[in-house]
Every structure is written in structure tokens, then in C-alpha cells.
Amino acid sequence: MHLPPQQGVRPCAPYRPQLHYTPARNWMNDPNGLVWHDGEYHLFYQYNPYGNDWGNMSWGHAVSTDLVHWEELGVAIEATDDEHVFSGSAVIDHDGTMVAVYTSYHPASGLQAQSLARSTDRGRTWTRHPGNPVLDIGSKEFRDPKVFWYGQGGYWVMAVVLALEWKVSFYRSDDLLSWTWLSDFGPAGSVDGIWEVPDLFELDGRWVLVVSLNPGGPAGGSGVQYFVGRFDGVTFTSDWPAAWVDHGRDFYAALSWNNTPDGRRRWIGWMSNWADAATHPTDPWRGAQSLPRELLLEDIGGRPCLVQRPVAALQALRSPDSIHVAGLDIPPGVLFRSVPEGALEITAEFAPGTAERFGLVIHEGVRIGYDIVRGEAFVEGTPSGRHAAPLSADGVRSSTDGVRSSADGVRRSGDGLRLTVIVDASCVEVFSDRGQIVFTEQIFAEPGSAQVGLFADSGTALLRSAAIHPLRPKRA
């Protein structure tokens, strides 16, 4: 089945984004099988071919040459009555074959095991391995294999979760068919929810282990944590406490691309939250992926921290009619100006004055800024149609209306704050101080609220500089 290309799907529905990948129709959740091959970035994902709710889990498929413009190819590996196709990864075997390693879920027994499928035509068609499953321990909570080539040892490594035991198990293989257990990591970090979708990769001389969990995230519902340490081909050892990947509410199942041509580490995440994903008011699709992000490790406050930035290809979409402002005093209250309709990239650098809080306003009521008194960056607001339980400043559910996510310990630019904000229909991504702190949010505001504002509470602040760039993707 071949569906219309993603770049041809115009955002006619009020919440359809232009830049964030959405399928033309039906339910989508976790990214799967991220791999670069023969000039294309492949994005597989959990997909229901038959409806707008979770079910009939199969692998959908899209490709891109630049991580910005996506072509939807339809269903890659489809569920059967006996086997649903849960999350997993993809690699390029030594003969150039694309191999998907995924979790087989068997509805009759409830058992989960790891299976293979192969493609010799760049992921367009797939053949299941006749000897599936290739790894079965008789468990109902054994899933989400991330496989990569461990060059130092000359073998394949699989990271896979034991979801209810809060463990990541590591296996090795020479041929992707026979797997030998190496070690387990965990429990560690947050164990407030089940563990899912592990990823393990080397980054800037250290190893990073990423684990999603649900619930227990920093803004309520699902979230993603990471550990930085060492991997010797057998055992992962964490050298620092776990930290959150994203302090917003809508970033889950983050997975990085294998086999990138330039060796840079890039990833993407499902832009939703299991606490309310089924109620998002979108039709005929439900579910979006985040913008792809480049990953770095930087030493901040005595520990290595994961830094995320939008991929550079996004800058090529900037419209020539950008708006630039510099040296603007922000009085107490809120200043608004109209901006072009469509996707926006907003960059801003602030210096504090006497204000206790200052920053940006989008969607007529969503505030993104810095709280001097609390020492935290935050995103908060009360847009109509927001389908989420409200949060207090410490990330615990409160009884007030709206959404609030906060992050302590943000390192500001001197004595100010630097923000990059992507606004794309309901999709909002906030990168504070060049990606040291990130918030990802689905905010279903009233359509047509094309304004950007500045605010300062209980005093004044200074906008050192700002730019508002309309982002215009190419159309097929």
C-alpha cells in the first residue's frame, strides 16, 4: 500500500503540523527502526492501519533525505491475527540487507519475543524470518529491542527491556539470529513506571543509556530518562545519577538513528503522552513525531548532560520575511504582536531587570520563560482544548487549570535566558540555552491565535535580541 507523500499532506485540519511528521490518517506512536541507508533516513513507527486509536500494531514507514521533508510509504510490516508488530530497531547487515528487529506480541498467549524481518529493496517490502522468534524467554514483558553494531568487539548488541523488573538486558550476536545474554542494568533511576524503549549509544567519548517509562515522567504521565557511563561490550555502568531527557509532557520513546553517514547522533521521539494520547482532538490522524534533534554531551554543573538541538536542516526553511527585534525594554504586563500564520522558529535572548519572571507568550496564553525566584525555566498556560492533567511547579499533579512544566538548575546565558522555540500548529518545542533544557508540549489552542508576546511580572526585563522566522517547507 502506498499512501500520499507527507509533504503533500497540507495542514487543512486545525492541528495538522507542517514540519512535524504525522501520518495521513490513523493512529501512530513510538518511532521504530531508525536507520540511514542509501541516501535515505528511514522512520518506521507504531501504526494502526485500521483506525485512529491504538490497536493492530504494525510498522508504518516514511523516508526523508534531509530529516525535514518526509514521504509516507505506508505499512511496512503489518500485524496478523497471531502476531502484532511492536517496537524495535533496524540495521544494515554486512551484505547491505535492511534488517528489522522487533517485538512479536502474540495475543493468544500474551507472550512477547524478538523477531526479524528482511528487506532487499530499501525497506519497501519485507519478509519475516521463517525461524521467528530469534530470542524468546517466555515473558509477557520483554520488548523493544535496540540493536547496533559494536565495532570494538565485532558483533551485534541488543538492548531490550524487562519492563516490570526495571531492567535493560544486553545480548550479543554474530549473525542477528543467535543471541547470547551478556548482562542486565537496573533497577536504577526512576522506577515509578514500567520501562520501555531502551537505546544505547556512544556520544562524545562516553556511553548513554536511554530508557522511557510510563508513568513517572517529570511533567506527569510518561517520560524519558538517561544514564551516562561506560560500556565495555558486556556491561553498562552508570557513572552519574539518572537525568530527564525532556521536562515537557509530550516526548516519549526517543530513539536514535543507526548508520548515519556523518557519524552524528540524531534522534526523534513520539510527541505525546500515554496519559492523554487517546483524547488528542485530531482527525483523521492521531499522533505526531518530534522534530529530529542532534545530540551532544556537555559538562554542566560537574556532570555530563545531554544537549539537544533541532537539526540544522530546519534553518533552510526560514522565510525571507523574518522579524528581528533588539534592545527592547519589557514593562510589567504583556506585549503582543501579530505574526505570519504557519510554523515559526522564535529565537530570543533576555536579560533580567527587576521582574520576578519574564519570557515569551505564544498561543495567546502559553508562557515560556524564567522564574528568578524559583530559579527555574518553565512552560505554563491555559489554552482552550488542552487535554492534559494540570501540573504544579514541582511536576506533581495539582488542582489548578492549565499545564505547567518546570526544570531546576538551568544554566542561563550570563545573567539572562536564551530560548529557541518551534511552534507548529499544536506542536511546541522549547530549547533553553542552546538545548541544555528542553520542553516538548502538545498544546491545542484555538486556531488562528497567530501572535507572539513578551511578558515581565512584578518588574521589568530586557529583550536583548529576538528573531521570528516563518518556516516554509517545500511542497511536492
What are the catalytic residues?
30
Residue 8: strand, helix, or coil: helix
Q: Is 279 helix (H, G, I), strand (E, B) or coil?
A: helix
Among candidates 159, 7, 181, which has minimal Cα distance to 91? Answer: 159
Cα radius of gyration (the chain): 22
Q: Which residue has the cell 500515554?
A: 274
Q: For residue 117, give the nearest of 167, 78, 68 by alpha carbon.
A: 78
Dihedrals φ, ψ of 315, to 5°?
-65, -25
- List of residues 6+ apart from 154 with CB closer than 8 A: none
Give, for 209, the enclosing helix (H) or strand (E): strand 206-214
Q: Do 174 and 190 touch, CB atoms closer than 8 A?
A: no
Specify the DSSP class assigned to residue 251: -
* C-alpha span between 37 and 39 (Å, rounded): 6
Q: Please provide residue 418's backbone torsions phi and psi, each rounded to the nearest 5 degrees.
A: -115, 130
Burial 96-120, CB ≥16 within 10 A → b, else e: eebbbbbbbbeeeeebbbbbbbebe
CA-CA distance, 306 to 189, in Å (whole number)?
16
- The residue type of 358 is F
In whole angstroms, what is the distance from residue 425 CA to residue 417 CA? 25
Return the C-alpha cell found at 286. 492521531
Strands 58-64 and 71-77: antiparallel
Sign of CA dihedral 355, 357, 360, 363: negative
**Can you read off the three cell numbers belonging to residue 384?**
482552550
Q: Which residue has the cell 570494538?
A: 152
DSSP-derived pairing of the beta strands 285-286 and 26-37: parallel
What backbone phi and psi angles, to 5 degrees, belong to 353? -120, -110
